[in-house]
Amino acid sequence: MADHEKPSNFIRNLIDADLAAGRFAQRYRPKVDAQSTVSTVDAAKIRTRFPPEPNGYLHFGHAKSICLNFGLAKDYGGACHLRFDDTNPEKEEQEYVDAITRDVKWLGWDWRFGDEINQYFASDYFASMYAFAEKLIEAGHAYVDSQSAEEMRATRGTLTEAGKNSPYRNRNPAENLDLFRAMRAGEFADGTHIVRAKIDMASGNINLRDPAIYRIKHATHHNTGDTWCIYPMYTFAHPIEDALENITHSICTLEFEDQRPFYDWLLNTLAELGCIAQPVPRQIEFSRLNLTYVVLSKRKLIQLVDEKHVDGWDDPRLPTLIGARRRGFTPEGFRRFAEMIGVTKSDSLIDFSVLEECQREHLNETALRRIAVLDPVRLVIDNYPAGQEEECLAPNHPQQPELGKRPVPFSGELWIEREDFSEAPPKGYFRLFPGNRVRLRYGFVIECTGCEKDAAGNVVAVHCNYFADSKSGTPGSDTYKVKGNIHWVSARHAVAAQVRLYDRLFSAEAPGADGGDFLADINPDSKQIIMAQLEPALKEARAEDRFQFERHGYFVADRVDSQPGTPVFNRAVTLKDSWVKVK
Ligand code: ATP
Ligand code: MG
């Protein structure tokens, strides 16, 4: 789809209106630290950002936000910043920073714009945030409150009742400044004082009732070490980060809608004080992604990993991007999905099959076809000359003949799927049963003559005769009319390989709904490990190569466990949705 044909949405409409009005036309390039001196008009038409907190791995919900922010920047000739929102000193880790960087790149996005790198850490702005807080205090827009947390809670009021002013609200600016500096110098214990914006304790919006902007926290920060023992609150830090980076459209999820008045108050007040430039960024909210059959809360994901319900953050069943990658899902599939679901302001629950279908579509277009027998039973062609072998030709992609055909070796003993033979076939069964004919796909027509069983009655081999003049692609082969068409691999040439059949991790649409334990909804059959027989061409599969195994689905060579010459395969998705609701 060309960019101009992309369906519009309320965010695009807002951006279009801002651009038409020239609202952001005269901005300067970002001035992200006190030393930078650049002052040329910003070449980026818009600036958006993706601001993850580096305290977990990215999940499918983040993919929606990433595709939205980076996609808008790309379409409008703008820049999207990758900003690590690391203002909380206790939880962040380098491991997550690395993982997030890698996952956003994997999705195909780039935060560079011209010669700008545009990867930022919110903690790099601590000095500016502190300076801005001093300015607010000096101007009488903020004060140090020395009430206990409990007292503050008690005076905040309710949705219907105004709050009460703190007894410290009218401290004069000089006293506030002294206290704030003493807070910074480490003279007080955690929780003894807090800085609050001075707005309106009677506001109908609780977020404007003198919200906290700085707190004392004697904690070591992964980036700034022990430089600070006071840290900005998220709601104070985030607007400043946006402003310092010259973000034009700060797009976030709906739960921040009630914060927008404070976002606007803070930035306009700081602009009046000369701390930042006008025009200030505009916050826009959209509804977050909710998906059936998964959990997207970091807390629950961490629990699944820590309690070993899954095999780590990259378990192919987890809704993390690193898990999806290992599963064989594609960046293009995610981008297609993000475009298909669009953005709105109303809460929505998307069925997991929508994501699977987007993945399937892209895999169908791009994955080479290969043959794999997942539940093998031996097929013996009794009239095939002993010791003979030959080649059959199989197309690499039926809709893309330019991808050519490959030779598949054929011999008198093959592996076929156990379910493609039935001694006592049910009505409508067109595959192998004694007396019936089928075509061995790309090969010959055969007629079943019977089977061998072991002492327990299990079928150990199926017998048949073949018709030497029925080989696919040879003249006259189509005079054989058969209803069944089954796949096979030559037993002598096949490669045995481990295949993991993954299915949904949860068998309930809304795991843990109605207050239940979400762990109780884990699907006990979400991972099955089998040994399959593969056509020899698959032996050379490299990690992350994706294929359609004919009649089965889409599979990827596992990026962790595959070795050269001995690939291990993961099922990404079946050919058809097997979870269609039967009600
Ligand atoms: P938590 O609140 O548990 O820390 P989070 O999902 O908010 O988790 P962040 O790292 O803060 O995690 O998220 C980064 C960005 O991704 C935010 O802008 C957030 O709005 C967005 N985001 C997170 N989850 C979703 C979701 N389900 N749908 C759309 N966007 C999301
Ligand atoms: Mg968050």
Q: Is residue 583 in a domain?
A: no
Q: Is residue 338 in a domain?
A: yes
- Percentage of residues in the chain with pLDDT exceeding 90? 91
Distance 336 CA to ligand 1 centre (A): 20
Of the residues 298, 369, 378, 559, only one is catalytic, namely 298
Q: Residue 4 pLDDT > 50, yes or no?
A: no
> Would you say how long the chain is, in residues?
583
Distance 301 CA to ligand 2 centre (A): 14
Round the average pLDDT of the chain to a whole number and report it.
95
245-253 average pLDDT score:
97
- Percentage of residues in the chain with pLDDT exceeding 70? 96
Q: Which atom of ligand 1 sits closest to the CA of residue 290?
A: 27
Q: Residue 528 pLDDT > 50, yes or no?
A: yes
Of the residues 45, 53, 156, 257, only one is catalytic, namely 53
DSSP secondary structure string for all residues of 145-193? E-S-HHHHHHTS--SSS-----TTTT--HHHHHHHHHHHHTT-S-TTS-
Q: Considering just the CA atoms, what is the radius of gyration of the chain in Å?
A: 31
Whether 27 and 106 share a structural domain: yes
Distance 195 CA to ligand 1 centre (A): 27
Residue with CA nearest ligand 1 atom 16: 62
What residues contact residue 375 under an 8 Å CB cut-off, 6+ apart?
417, 418, 419, 530, 532
Q: Residue 1 pLDDT > 50, yes or no?
A: no
pLDDT at 39: 62
146-168 average pLDDT score:
96
Compute the distance between CA of residue 71 and CA of residue 68 in angstroms, rounded to an integer.
5
Pocket of ligand 1 (CB under 6 A): 51-53, 61-62, 64-65, 252-253, 288-289, 296, 298
Residue with CA nearest ligand 1 atom 24: 61
Q: Residue 583 pLDDT > 90, yes or no?
A: no
- What are the tokens at 58? 């990215």
Residue 113: name the closest of 64, 70, 84 by CA.
70
Q: Is residue 292 in a domain?
A: no
Q: Residue 386 pLDDT > 60, yes or no?
A: yes
Q: Which atom of ligand 1 sits closest to the CA of residue 54?
A: 10
pLDDT digits (tens, 9 = 90+) for 196-210: 999 999 999 999 999
pLDDT digits (tens, 9 = 90+) for 365-381: 999 999 999 999 999 99
| Ligand with an atom nearest the CA of residue 65 | 1
Whether 32 and 84 share a structural domain: yes
Whether 243 and 213 share a structural domain: no
Distance 85 CA to ligand 2 centre (A): 9
* 298 catalytic per annotation: yes
Asked whether 362 and 329 are in contact (CB, 8 A), the reply is no
Q: Is residue 528 in a domain?
A: yes
Q: Which atom of ligand 1 sits closest to the CA of residue 58?
A: 10
Q: Which atom of ligand 1 sits closest to the CA of residue 299?
A: 3
pLDDT at 30: 58
Q: Global pTM?
A: 0.94
Whether 376 and 365 share a structural domain: no
CATH of the domain at 429: 2.40.240.10
Distance 321 CA to ligand 1 centre (A): 13
Distance separating the N- and C-terminal Cα atoms of the chain: 36
Whether 250 and 115 share a structural domain: yes
81-95 average pLDDT score:
88
SS3 state of residue 226: coil
Whether 194 and 226 share a structural domain: yes
Mutate to test the pocket of ligand 1, among 53, 241, 247 (most ligand atoms within 8 A of CB): 53
Asked whether 86 and 53 are in contact (CB, 8 A), the reply is yes
Q: Is residue 580 in a domain?
A: no
Whether 105 and 241 share a structural domain: yes
Distance 473 CA to ligand 1 centre (A): 55
Q: Is residue 492 in a domain?
A: no
Of the residues 186, 214, 230, which one is the last residue of a structural domain?
230
Mutate to test the pocket of ligand 1, among 64, 65, 66, 298 (most ligand atoms within 8 A of CB): 65
Q: Which atom of ligand 1 sits closest to the CA of residue 64?
A: 29
CATH of the domain at 272: 3.40.50.620
Whether 214 and 201 share a structural domain: yes
Whether 110 and 10 share a structural domain: yes
Q: Residue 354 pLDDT > 50, yes or no?
A: yes
| Ligand with an atom nearest the CA of residue 62 | 1
pLDDT digits (tens, 9 = 90+) for 406-435: 999 999 999 999 999 999 999 999 999 999
- What are the tokens at 536? 């020899």
Of the residues 135, 288, 369, 539, only one is catalytic, namely 288
Compute the distance between CA of residue 352 and CA of residue 338 in angstroms, rounded to an integer.
13
Of the residues 487, 513, 537, which one is the last residue of a structural domain?
487
14-42 average pLDDT score:
77
- What are the tokens at 575? 């050919």
Q: Is residue 540 in a domain?
A: yes
| Ligand with an atom nearest the CA of residue 52 | 1
Q: Which of 124-128, 261-265, 311-315, 513-517 is predicted least confidently?
A: 513-517
Whether 479 and 380 share a structural domain: yes
Of the residues 468, 487, 506, which one is the last residue of a structural domain?
487
Which domain range does residue 89 map to?
3-119+236-284
Whether 169 and 103 share a structural domain: no
Most confident range, picked from 22-31, 389-398, 510-519, 569-578: 389-398
Residue with CA nearest ligand 1 atom 27: 61
Whether 318 and 390 share a structural domain: no
CATH of the domain at 159: 3.90.800.10
Asked if the bond preceding 279 is cis, omega within 30° of 0, the reply is yes
**Is beta strand 495-502 parallel, antiparallel or unpaired with respect to 368-370?**
unpaired
| Ligand with an atom nearest the CA of residue 253 | 1
Q: Residue 27 pLDDT > 90, yes or no?
A: no
> What is the count of structural domains for the chain?
4
pLDDT at 378: 98
* 53 catalytic per annotation: yes
Distance 61 CA to ligand 1 centre (A): 7
pLDDT at 5: 57
- Which residue shows structure tokens 């290992």? 326
- What are the tokens at 104? 């956003």
CA–centroid distance for 376 within its chain: 35
Q: Is residue 425 in a domain?
A: yes
pLDDT at 29: 66
Q: Which of 113-117, 144-148, 397-401, 470-474 is predicted least confidently?
A: 113-117
* pLDDT category of residue 308 using cuts at 50, 70 and 90: very high
135-150 average pLDDT score:
97
